[in-house]
Amino acid sequence: MKIAYLVNQYPKVSHSFIRREILGLEACGLEVVRFSIRSCSTELVDAADKAELKKTQVVLEAGVLALLSGLLQAVLTRPVRLLLTIQLAIKLGWHSERGMLRHLIYLVEACLLLKWFHEANVSHVHAHFGTNSTTVALLCRALGGPPYSFTVHGPEEFDKVTAIALPQKVERAAFVVAISNFGRSQLYRWCPVAQWSKVHVVHCGVDSAFFNSTPTPIPSDPKLVCVGRLCAEKGQLLLLEAAGQLMRRGLAFKLVLVGDGPLRSELEATIARLGLHDHVEITGWADSDQVRQAILNARVLVLPSFAEGLPVVIMEALALGRPVISTYVAGIPELVEPGVCGWLVPPGSVEALMTAIQSAMEASPATLEQWGSAGAKRVAEQHNVVIEVGKLKTLFQSALQSEPAFKEELVPGSSLLSVSRTTKFQPQKHISLD
């Protein structure tokens, strides 16, 4: 069994959970090949990500000639399927936010990937995020490629369900993964009951390096850390407003923002406006060891997000014995229990965020260590990568037993393809455009 992982950008600084998942599957004996639509190699700082980049084929780095060659091969070998898939791409693009032209580009990418998947003898394709990478996987399947599945993270997929044709993607998929019960419930909202059995919860996982480490005592310094891409939905601007008010009240604290992103210049301007230079530091992108150390150096992790799926950094902080301050958003309350391993506040509330931060800064190290220990136990029970990867492996195996896998051969004297069954199931005889 060979699984192809397809992601819009892989590896990426914020996608360490995908790397852990792939490595976990390989440790289970599955062969995994990596594919990315585009590269963000200039952002990579982690040695593990750089190693993954060397194993990854990037579609848009193959060049125009390779893309046209893939399209030409599809024209010559499967004209009927190609015509039907063009119609499908147009239909998907008609109501999308990116338009028909972009979806025709996705089709060209799918043609090249179809060639690559055939050369690599791929049995199944798994995409992360229900956006353009899953669109490409769907079109590749319509061309006669391997069955596909995908993991939905949110919030992006749930913000534009119709624009990304999420219900159609679920319908055509072998199965769909949600990373939380909240995510599963949102998929249920948009799918017929008949499709619900396809939706499974597989949590993002934390590896043994977090669980097996020697506990590090809570530091006495009043330091808190926020780890994540610097963007509006993470709530860092609100966090700075809370920090400014706490500074004026005379609370001693140091806030470290680990990450980078489009909001950095605005955050730096806000730090200057509020006079927070002595209280707030922005580190920029950090590798996994630096993130780990930044969490251990803090008393708590704070992530006041407005929109989320279920942030992996919350799992990592709890696994390292650090309580978490976050919001009642999406899957976060499934992991962070107020008064047990952290604080949850209403998203957008500066007052509630201030109160939680002040409580964390004034709490005794013994209390924080007790909460951190409770959080580590919850992560070990719910987010152990070995257990979660085992669930995913079972889903792949089940999909391969129930979905037709094709070996396509050119019919002598014909431009069409014959299909040799490699399972006991008959292949689809047409591609529905409904």
Q: What residues are paired with 95 via a beta bridge?
A: none
Q: Which of 22, 57, 53 is nearest to 40 (CA)?
A: 53
Q: Taking the model in full, what pTM does it have?
A: 0.90
pLDDT at 419 over 50: no
Whole-number pLDDT of residue 404: 63
Q: Domain residues of the chain, as ranges?
A: 2-205+385-421, 208-382
397: CB partners within 8 A, 6+ apart: 1
pLDDT tens digits for range 315-336: 999 999 999 999 999 999 999 9
Contact 300, 276 (CB under 8 A): no
63: CB partners within 8 A, 6+ apart: none
Confidence of residue 211 (pLDDT cuts 50, 70, 90): confident
Identical fold between 2-205+385-421 and 208-382: yes
Which listed CATH number (1.20.1250.20, 3.40.50.2000, 3.90.79.10, 3.40.50.880) goes with 208-382?
3.40.50.2000
Between CA 248 and CA 251 the distance in angstroms is 8
Between CA 388 and CA 383 the distance in angstroms is 7
pLDDT tens digits for range 23-79: 999 999 999 999 999 998 888 888 899 999 999 999 999 999 999 999 999 999 999
pLDDT, the chain, mean: 91
Confidence of residue 405 (pLDDT cuts 50, 70, 90): low
pLDDT at 414 over 50: no
Q: Which of 15, 386, 417 is nearest to 207 (CA)?
A: 386
Where do the DSSP E strands lie in 167-248?
A: 175-178, 199-201, 223-227
pLDDT tens digits for range 291-323: 999 999 999 999 999 999 999 999 999 999 999
pLDDT at 432 over 50: no
pLDDT tens digits for range 358-378: 999 999 999 999 999 999 999
* Mean local confidence (pLDDT), 152-179: 96
pLDDT tens digits for range 100-114: 999 999 999 999 999
Q: Does domain 2-205+385-421 have CATH number 3.40.50.1820?
A: no
pLDDT at 434 over 50: no
pLDDT at 430 over 80: no
pLDDT at 117 over 50: yes
